[in-house]
Structure 1
Amino acid sequence: MSESPNYPQSPAPTSMDQATAPPRPRTIEGAFWAFIVAPVIGLIGGLLILGNRDKIAATLRDADRQRGGTLTDAQIDQTANVTMITAVVIAVLIAALYLLFAFKLRAGRNWARIVLTVLAGLQLFSVLTGESTIGSYLAVLAAVVGVVLSFTGPSNAYIAAVKGRH
């Protein structure tokens, strides 16, 4: 005959946090999804660079010839590979940060909204000052839509309400 030990009972989980959380407005949801779309498009563009290896190598060869042609074909191929890998790694890192900040925005964190605004501004500046693709323009458009939605009245009220809870 074994007796069960008398452990203190833990209180039943409550939904207090859920009950006191302000309802998330559609503008925050829209901003969240816009900030999801922007890095996804960026990732696709980063992965498409893998198909441009020959173009990258040709550009490097042309640049090397203009400077006197000191690089071997092996060095140019290696530089093209490093360039492609670096571009993909940067695209993945930026996408991961965008996703992290998008989820924090969705949770009502004002600092995430500010960081996403700065990132969108840098992305816009990059598109306006460099060579861009249609994907770059679409990613910037999604990010700008996310910024605009995250600063509308309902979004501001939601973020203020979440801030008031903490």
Structure 2
Amino acid sequence: MSDRSQLDESGSSAGEAPAVPEWLRRARWVWLGAMLLGLLASVVQLADRETLVAEIRERSPELSQQEVDAATNSGILFTLLVSALTLMVVLLLTNRMLQGVNWARLVLTAWAGFEVFAMFITAIGLAVLGRGTIEQLAGQSVSAVELLAQVLVTALEIAAIVLMFRPEVNEYFRRMRPRLRRR
């Protein structure tokens, strides 16, 4: 038998790439779900234009109505652009992860680690200092819906990390390493 027709431990021939584990595909969908949930939470928050205008007026009472409207519109546009960019980056990273690129998995893990840390600090801050103090320090209101969305996004990201590091997935990345070096 030639090398090309020999089978490796995974049952695929030496020349073909190993199949992407189902757990990794699920992790990708969990990541995308988390990002879409975050985007939806941003859109819901931005839909309350009156609150946004009131917050700008409170922080900068010297602004004219035209300046407040411009600042509100700019803030909405900026938030939507950042949310869309975040979704695109996660899409790119999850695509690379499915291709067996381990650094993409590690970047996603670090990203989720920062989110978990931020959620932990927020929870401690709310428990110790209270919502009013946190809002004062942050310079903006913190809604229950926003907190719930962030908790759900963080939970989804933790689930994605668990899926990305299952034994089958680790084996997939181990087998993909030599293939990616040959490129």
Please report the TM-score for the alignment, with normalisation by the length of structure 2.
0.72
1:82 and 2:71 aligned: no
Give the superposition deviation at 1:50: 3.2
Deviation sequence 1:5-60 (CA, Å, 0-9, x none):
xxxxxxxxxxx999621122222122111111111112212222331111011111
Matched, 1:40 2:32: no
1:154 aligns with 2:150: no
Q: Is the 8 A contact 2:24 2:98 kept in 1?
A: yes
Partner Cα distance (1:40, 1:71) in 2? 34
Q: 1:118 aligns with which of 102, 110, 124?
A: 110
Alignment correspondent of 1:136 = 150
The count of corresponding residues between Structure 1 and Structure 2 is 147
Structure-2 residue corresponding to 1:55: 51
CA contact (8 A) 2:46 2:52 kept: no
Residue 122 of structure 1 and its aligned partner are, at CA, apart by: 2.4
After TM superposition, the structure 1 = structure 2 runs for residues 89-100 of structure 1, keeping only pairs within 5 Å, are 89-100=81-92
- Give, as a single letter, the amino acid of the residue that structure 1 aligns with 2:174: A
**Cα gap change, 1:96 to 1:71, in 2 (>3 Å):** same
Q: Is the 8 A contact 1:49 1:84 kept in 2?
A: no
Percent identical pairs in the alignment equals: 24
Distance 2:58 2:14 in 1: 61
Residue ranges of structure 1 left out of the alignment (5+ in a row): 1-15
